[in-house]
Amino acid sequence: EIVLTQSPGTLSLSPGERATLSCRASQSVSSSYLAWYQQKPGQAPRLLIYGASSRATGIPDRFSGSGSGTDFTLTISRLEPEDFAVYYCQQGGTFGGGTKVEIK
Amino acid sequence: EVQLLESGGGLVQPGGSLRLSCAASGFTFSSYAMSWVRQAPGKGLEWVSAISGSGGSTYYADSVKGRFTISRDNSKNTLYLQMNSLRAEDTAVYYCAKAPLPGGNPLMGFDYWGQGTLVTVSS
């Protein structure tokens, strides 16, 4: 069973700063099935990235995904106020534990 | 516009049963795999079950295998989750979610989600 470990658990940053979120798999996984989601309180998750690096429809280009094998990264180039949320990675039937991006 | 609307959640006693529904619109329902994903209060996301577009293939998380059954009625554009032998740890918001590509792997991501329906298992 694949385990996805997200780090850090919480990221405290200011608007305009760059956010780098990590997702590490317990074994090598297919990039085709690596996705990232954003979730705000009381809302359903929103797909940001699929196939490790492809942005979903309507997602701003400040969001980018990269990685392969066991190490994947979600980068938000310049944080906007609406980007403060929890982010999850997913590979197949497994989700990571999430990274909360909070305002510093 | 793609819309997914879950219903059927509520309070149920341990050992009881519940059937969730997800009414879909805005896309060719039968062409897309669908999944159920749940989120316990204050916790992260957990994939529960998936079904191919035709309904011929189904997949389950180990935590629900043998207790939950996923199905779909493509003539009604509706996805279902029959939940039996419910336990306290099944308490969660249950989301239905759509796969991003027609005919694609049901677990390559979920591009649209419903608003969720809350299932509470308690005596």
User: 3-class SS at A90?
Assistant: strand
Amino acid at B5: L
Residue A48 with chain B: CB contacts under 8 Å: none
Q: Report chain B residues whose CB lies below 8 A from the CB of A9.
A: none
CB contact under 8 A, A47 and B107: no
How far is B46 from A45, CA to CA, in rounded Å?
12
- Choose the closest CB to B44 out of A46, A50, A95: A95
Residue of B nearest to A31 (CA): B108
What is residue B106's predicted lDDT score, i.e. its pLDDT?
86
pLDDT class of B62 with cuts at 50, 70, 90: very high
Contact predicate A55/A73, CB 8 Å? no
Chain A residues whose CB is inside 8 A of the B112 CB are 47
Q: How many CB pairs under 8 A join A and B?
A: 58
- Residue-wise pLDDT tens digits, B70-116: 999 999 999 999 999 999 999 999 999 999 989 888 888 999 999 99
Report CB contact under 8 Å: A90, B47.
Answer: yes
A94 touches chain B (CB under 8 A): yes
Nearest to A33 by CA among A48, A53, A51, A47: A51
> Do residues A31 and A67 make contact, with C-beta atoms less than 8 angstroms apart?
yes
Low-confidence ranges of chain A (pLDDT < 70): none
Identity of the amino acid at B70: I
Contact B59 A50 (CB under 8 A): no
**CB proximity under 8 Å: A 33-92 to B:** 33, 35, 37, 39, 44-47, 50-51, 56-57, 88, 90, 92
Instruction: Find the closest chain A residue to B35 by CA distance.
Output: A93
Q: Are B95 and B113 in contact (CB under 8 A)?
A: yes
Question: A74 with A48: CB under 8 angstroms?
Answer: yes
Predicted local distance difference test score (pLDDT) of residue B17: 98
Task: Report pLDDT for B103.
Answer: 87
* Res A77: pLDDT: 97
- pLDDT of res. A2: 93
DSSP state of B31: G
CB of A100 within 8 Å of any CB in chain B? no
Residue A14 has a pLDDT of 97
| Pairing state between β A10-13 and A54-55 | unpaired
Query: Do residues B20 and B70 touch, judged by C-beta distance below 8 A?
Result: no
CA B94 vs CA A16, A78, A97, B63: distances in Å: 34, 33, 17, 15
Strands (E), chain A: 4-7, 10-13, 19-29, 34-39, 46-50, 54-55, 63-76, 86-91, 94-95, 99-103
- Secondary structure element (H or E) that encloses residue A104, with its range: none
Contact call for A57 and B111, based on CB within 8 A: yes
* Distance, CA of B63 to CA of B40 (rounded, Å): 13
pLDDT at residue B117 in the model: 98
Q: How far apart are CA B42 and CA B27, in angstroms?
A: 32
- B26-40: per-residue pLDDT in tens? 999 999 999 999 999
